[in-house]
């Protein structure tokens, strides 16, 4: 790329790291200023504080409450409008995730899966919503709460189904493996089932949201700088491209918001299904 840059552009890019030039997005985005804080510090944090991301969480929670309250306030046999929408969403989780993966266990876990799906989707989609522009799930606490919930639920379900001994045996000593291989299999299974599962659930979600936000800030920030701030006319087409790419990634982020909610919920269902399944 350096070969096609003329000196003008090179100067601009060099200038971008200067004080009044282009500043690329950074992880500071995910540590917005605390609006207020009180209580003694603990582990280097105040005991209680609030940021705009927390406000976004509360807004989205309120939105879900209002949406489902309105949708199912007077449920009609022949649904219309918002009720139809609410039922379609609920049915999606129940049929496509709970019943699809868990079969006759679906009823017991549908509540958890439904809550997870809608919370994750609502918190993800704020990444592209006007005024909010950051996913509420891009702070690790949210995926962590859900990942740990998933972890406890699938382990609890497995222990309840098979007893502690049976459940551990099922997971750590899968049948049909030659005896010496247990030296290898058992530690791998232990780590993958009991450590990696909640960690991957959490990190997959938070990393997707962080990356999506970074991309959007980079493209829109770049477009803004190249189109409006920079004096170089040569950067204008690149700025336009950056803007179009930002728009494309906004659409992509809608897909990602849905897909990550779906994956998280589906994997939780799969883990529960594995824990309660009779065969093994």
Partner 1 sequence: MIKTTVLADTTGESVEGIQLLLPAFYDLLFGGISFVLLLVLFWKYALPRAQQVLEKRTDAIQGGIARAQQQEQEASQLLRQYREQLADARGEAARIRTQAQAERDELVNQARTDAQVVSEQVKQQATASLAAERGRVVTDLRKEVGDLALELAGKVLGESLKDDAKAKAVIDRFITDLEKSVGKN
Per-residue mark of binding to partner 1, 204-223 (x: CB under 8 A)? --x---x-------------
Taking CB under 8 A as the rule, does residue 269 contact partner 1?
no
Taking CB under 8 A as the rule, does residue 22 contact partner 1?
no
Q: Quick count: other Cβ atoms within 10 Å of Cβ 198?
A: 22
Judged by CB under 8 A, the residue of 5, 10, 47, 184 near partner 1 is 47
Taking CB under 8 A as the rule, does residue 156 contact partner 1?
no
Give whichever of 113 and 226 is closer to partner 1, judged by the CB atom: 113
Min dist. Cβ of residue 205 to partner 1 (A): 12
Taking CB under 8 A as the rule, does residue 69 contact partner 1?
yes
Per-residue mark of binding to partner 1, 93-132 (x: CB under 8 A)? -----------------xxx-xx--xx---x---------
Judged by CB under 8 A, the residue of 14, 50, 191, 244 near partner 1 is 50
Taking CB under 8 A as the rule, does residue 1 contact partner 1?
no
Taking CB under 8 A as the rule, does residue 77 contact partner 1?
yes
For 265, half-sphere exposure in the C-beta direction (CA atoms, 13 angstrom radius) is 29
Question: What DSSP string runs through the chain?
Answer: -GGG--HHHHHHHHHHTSTTS-----GGGGSPPPSEEEEEEETTEEEEEE-HHHHHHHHHHHHHHHHHHHHTSS--SS--HHHHHHHHHHHIIIIIIIIHHHGGGHHHHHHHHHHHHHHHHHHHHGGGSTTT-S-GGGSTHHHHHHHHHHHHHHHHHHHHHHHHHHHHHHHHS-TTS-GGGHHHHHHHHHHIIIIIHHHHHHHHHHHHHHHHHHHHHHHHHHHHIIIII---TTHHHHHHHHHHHHHHHHHHHHHHHHHHHHHHHHHHHHHHHHHH-S--
Taking CB under 8 A as the rule, does residue 145 contact partner 1?
yes
Taking CB under 8 A as the rule, does residue 84 contact partner 1?
no
Taking CB under 8 A as the rule, does residue 61 contact partner 1?
yes
Question: What are the b/e assignments for 130-147, b being 16+ CB within 10 Å?
Answer: eebbbbbbbbbebbbebb
Taking CB under 8 A as the rule, does residue 30 contact partner 1?
yes
Taking CB under 8 A as the rule, does residue 190 contact partner 1?
no
Judged by CB under 8 A, the residue of 13, 15, 64, 82 near partner 1 is 64
Min dist. Cβ of residue 177 to partner 1 (A): 34
Taking CB under 8 A as the rule, does residue 177 contact partner 1?
no
Residues lying near partner 1 in the complex (CB under 8 A): 17, 24, 26-28, 30-34, 42, 45-51, 53-54, 57-58, 60-61, 64-65, 68-69, 71-72, 75-77, 79, 86-87, 90-91, 110-112, 114-115, 118-119, 123, 136, 139-142, 144-146, 149, 203, 206, 210
């Amino acid at each position: 790329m350096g070969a096609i840059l003329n000196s003008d552009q090179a100067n601009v890019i060099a200038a971008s790291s200067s004080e009044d030039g282009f500043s690329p997005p950074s992880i500071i985005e995910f540590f917005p200023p605390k609006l207020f804080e009180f209580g003694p510090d603990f582990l280097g944090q105040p005991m209680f504080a609030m940021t705009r991301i927390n406000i976004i969480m509360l807004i989205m929670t309120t939105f879900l409450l209002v949406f489902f309250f309105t949708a199912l306030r007077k449920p009609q046999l022949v649904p219309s409008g918002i009720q139809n929408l609410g039922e379609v969403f609920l049915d999606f989780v129940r049929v496509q995730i709970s019943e699809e993966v868990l079969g006759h266990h679906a009823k017991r876990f549908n509540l958890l899966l439904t809550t997870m799906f809608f919370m994750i989707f609502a918190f993800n989609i704020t990444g592209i919503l006007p005024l909010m522009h950051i996913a509420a799930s891009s702070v690790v606490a949210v995926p962590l709460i859900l990942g740990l919930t998933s972890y406890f639920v699938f382990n609890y379900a497995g222990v309840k189904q098979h007893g502690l001994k049976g459940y551990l045996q099922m997971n750590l000593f899968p049948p049909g493996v030659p005896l010496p291989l247990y030296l290898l299999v058992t530690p791998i299974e232990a780590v993958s089932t009991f450590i990696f599962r909640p960690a991957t659930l959490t990190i997959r979600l938070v990393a997707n949201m962080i990356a999506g936000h970074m991309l959007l800030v980079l493209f829109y920030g770049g477009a803004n700088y190249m189109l409006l701030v920079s004096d170089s006319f040569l950067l204008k087409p690149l700025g336009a491209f950056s803007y179009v790419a930002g728009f494309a990634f906004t659409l992509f982020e809608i897909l990602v918001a849905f897909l990550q909610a779906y994956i998280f919920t589906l994997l939780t269902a799969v883990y529960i299904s594995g824990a309660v399944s009779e065969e093994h």
